[in-house]
Structure 1
């Protein structure tokens, strides 16, 4: 497993070494944000399976603040005592994380290993023509394992590329959304891997320690595939964080270097269905409201950047909310802090129906006791960014009215886009927005940081607008359109609709 040391170098470690060095390692080295989150989920499952978890909020607080010399010694000892056969990715009857019942069908119905990697699959639909999924280029075993964990956690709903009639039953083609699919997963990131794990271990009493190592073993009967079964109850946190969201089977092949194991064929179908208790099993979820008034966990959006939801995370950090955020609210405020002690990592898989589009992720700084100030900074920062974007939109319209006095209705959208600098502005705003939050998390006053943030955004917006207007001809009409756009932009910045931080920064608030 790849991990990052404190100096940023990458090291390959087995699970025993990973937990033994958890306090000195900085983080997991994931190829994608989703892979990193999925692997942290697996490590959390091992903590619960081995009994290395807090039993109460008070014990959680003690573990976070005073971890002791070997906080994960229990996990290390437990792993050493495990049978090697139980952790064999290519075991003939109980392969790690997989469903060996698919074995009779792997040769005829399997595809190349690209199907295992969410970012490479495209549409899961079995009727689509995806030649790239047939390519048998070997995938290294370690990479395949991490890709499988990502599938279990974030897999999208849809129709699998597997014939139910020819394999285990019709219901195996119906893929359900993974436990973390369709929503944003939030992890508290500490100063070390061990710190991260301790922050994210939810307290519980007497966890059954049911770890899903493979499909064909366990203390309960797995689902069948003749019909869609009801979702089964969660058997503790070890079960929750290790559940098998897909039926997967991989075929081993000698690696390209002649030594390292790899896979060259894979078969994927429907997996476990869990009945989740929102209060117990979605402790990291940030509840948001849709346009129709429905309340649900914050979800990845193709039109709204994740960083623009920072205020929602900070608003959740209070004792009455429960879950992760209530525990974070109990952490004592740092007396002396030249750097915030940890961050909040938000990860989600953006999709177009059954087609994965890409990962959305953002890291939000956090410091105990400063959640109200971080909320204020992010709320005001978002309002400022929103209004500047609206001002750019109106400026584009002002230029369009003069540049195209007699437009065809069908051409209006493309013509307006010529002068619309909002896309560049939104992309560029993320850096100053995060800088604003980091400064506040490190102890700066919100009122002291906002003016510099405003100046930074306005300078960028004027530059982006001018670049858009440069396409106008240098004749009288072009000059009038350019001047109208600039006047409109400046006027809109200080209109009655503008936030006070733009119209009168001195009165922006505390």
Structure 2
């Protein structure tokens, strides 16, 4: 991709930042990676607030980002050339002598297509050399830099740059949830996510072989290097990547047909400075760590932790959001909080987990209450469905084999359907509260919505029971168990309040 084209596209993007409502990205991870790169350009150009007070002014007044466009227009075209022979944008040209013999097809570049990083896994799909359009390859490369998983690279250290080039570390955002404040325009989004700093943050990583930063070698694993400001942080090269250009599918636009990927930079991150968006949670062992992607717990179920971070002004982004004044007369919430993470099974990427949470300045306490109470209700309804499944199982299978119990219980367990269906009413609850509704006014409708769904899902599971005596007893026992647990002493007040209201009305 010609440097002049990239430079021109970026210049126009910043010039129109307050007219654009979105940026191009095929996955949530790509969008987050693009925002990271654009933030780096803001810092590199000197376009950033220097204090929390100035940040607030920038956000409220819509401080223009024209200075980034002006800065970009003055930069050498070669700095932005994706296929420059000596300093390709975002890449390590030291890999050039090895790409013909040791490179693979483009699937390796795209996290979702790369497959298992285990060196003993089947990687035959990487031999396919289907070209990838240059713009798509650029976005995939940025995503690798920040989200790449740990594991063993498919590059020979002995035949290339050294033994430790095969040892991939987790990307800066790998293994945790990245939270971005997403505004009504791209410009709004960038201003919201700029961290105020009084230091000079202008060290930008455009390529591996040039610039003021001394890069690591690959003969031995080095210690993590200190971060040289926010431009460095957001543009750090988490992978050593090299892409081979090829004619595009239309014969004109450039494409990539071969890639080589090895270990990249290791950064020494400061939690307060460099993880300003992280939602800190406590593990079962008592360790405090940033919220991480979970294969068993949907991301929306963690909304209360995110809103709590704002309510408690826990630092970083959340302390600044808490101090934004409420917009009077606004007919909608002014921005959202986008949470993105890469879910993996050890060294195998599985897919992206993402959720969007509405936010309105001044509403953090109410949104925290809504999300907490909404989660508690959802958890208890799921627990009630679990008890109902057990009641049906105990009658249907009076003499089960222990090895069969799990599959037999699954026959009556409606929790999976319930959790999937709960996301919509949960987000509706948050959206209503973000737009000014009272939590106490919204909860009855939310609870009734969830309870009605749960009854329907349970009945659908029980439909498989025969219409004989044991089947009818199992069906009746499951329904009794569900209703009893729904309003037991362990039930949240919002559930018991709804039942009390109905009984009183009768």
Task: Decide whether the 8 Å contact of 2:309 with 2:318 is kept in 1.
Answer: yes
1:109 aligns with 2:102: yes
Decide whether the 8 Å contact of 2:487 with 2:499 is kept in 1.
no
Question: What TM-score results when the alignment is normalised by the length of structure 2?
Answer: 0.96
- CA offset at residue 320 of structure 1? 4.2
Is 1:473 the counterpart of 2:466? The answer is: yes
User: Which of 25, 29, 32 is 1:30 aligned to?
Assistant: 25
Match of 2:370?
377
Tell me by how many angstroms 1:506 deviates: 9.3
SS in 2 for 1:123: coil
Residue 337 of structure 2: aligned partner:
344
Tell me how far 1:201 sits from its aligned partner.
0.2
Deviation at 1:207, TM superposition (A): 1.9
* Conserved? CA contact 1:126–1:162, under 8 Å: no
- The residue aligned with 2:118 is 125
Greater shift, 436-445 or 205-214, is seen at: 205-214
Match of 1:361 in 2: 354
Q: Tell me what 2:491 maps to.
A: 498
Q: Out of 307, 311, 322, which is 1:314 matched to?
A: 307
Matched residue, 1:54: 49
Give the corresponding residue for 2:13. Answer: 18
- Pairwise CA distance, 1:205: 1.1
Identify which range, 455-464 or 499-508, moves more after superposition. 499-508
Query: Does the 8 Å CA contact 1:500/1:507 hold for their aligned counterparts?
Result: no
Where does 1:139-218 land on structure 2 (aligned, <5 Å)?
139-218=132-211
How many Å apart are 1:373 and its aligned residue? 0.3
**Equivalents in 1 of 2:499, 2:420: separation in Å?**
28
Between the aligned partners of 2:58 and 2:462, the Cα distance in structure 1 is 57
What secondary structure does 2:22 align onto? strand
The counterpart of 1:228, out of the listed 221, 225, 231, is 221
Shift of 1:206: 3.2
CA gap 1:362/1:435 in 2 versus in 1, 3 angstroms = same
Query: Is the CA contact (8 Å cut-off) linking 1:86 and 1:96 kept in structure 2?
Result: yes
CA drift at 1:127:
2.6
The answer as to whether partners of 1:231 and 1:273 remain within 8 angstroms in 2 is yes
Aligned to 1:67: 62
Partner of 1:348, secondary structure, is strand
- Is 2:247 aligned against 1:254? yes
Pick from 266, 280, 293: which aligns with 1:287?
A: 280
Partner of 1:301: 294
CA contact (8 A) 1:231 1:275 kept: yes
Residue of structure 2 aligned with 1:331, choices 310, 324, 327: 324
2:152 and 2:127 map into 1 onto residues whose CA distance is 17
* Worse overlay, 24-33 or 259-268: 24-33
Is 1:464 the counterpart of 2:464? The answer is no
Task: Tell me which residue corresponds to 2:37.
Answer: 42
CA distance in 2, matches of 1:358, 1:294: 26
Aligned positions of 1:481-492 closer than 5 A:
481-492=474-485
Q: 1:407 aligns with which of 388, 400, 411?
A: 400
Unaligned runs of 5+ in 2: 2-7, 502-506
After superposition, the C-alpha distances for 1:400-455 in whole angstroms (9 at most, x for unaligned) are 00010111110000000000000000000000000000000000000000000001
Q: CA RMSD in A?
A: 1.3
CA distance, structure 2, for counterparts of residue 112 and residue 131 of structure 1:
10
* Displacement after TM superposition at 1:321 (Å): 1.6
Residues 507/290 of structure 1: CA separation in 2 closer, same or farther (3 Å cut): farther
> For the Cα contact (< 8 Å) 2:395–2:473, is it kept in 1?
yes
The 3-state SS of whatever aligns with 1:25 is coil
Aligned residues: 495
Runs of 4+ in 1 over 3 A off after TM superposition: 505-508
C-alpha deviation, 1:360, in angstroms: 0.4
Compute the displacement of 1:27 (Å): 1.4
Q: Structure 1 length normalisation: TM-score?
A: 0.96
Tell me how far apart the structure 1 counterparts of residues 383 and 371 of structure 2 sit (CA, whole Å): 18
- Which residue number corresponds to residue 8 of structure 1? none
**The one of 417, 432, 438 aligned to 1:439:** 432
User: CA separation of 1:46/1:507 partners in 2, compared to 1, >3 Å: closer, same or farther?
Assistant: farther
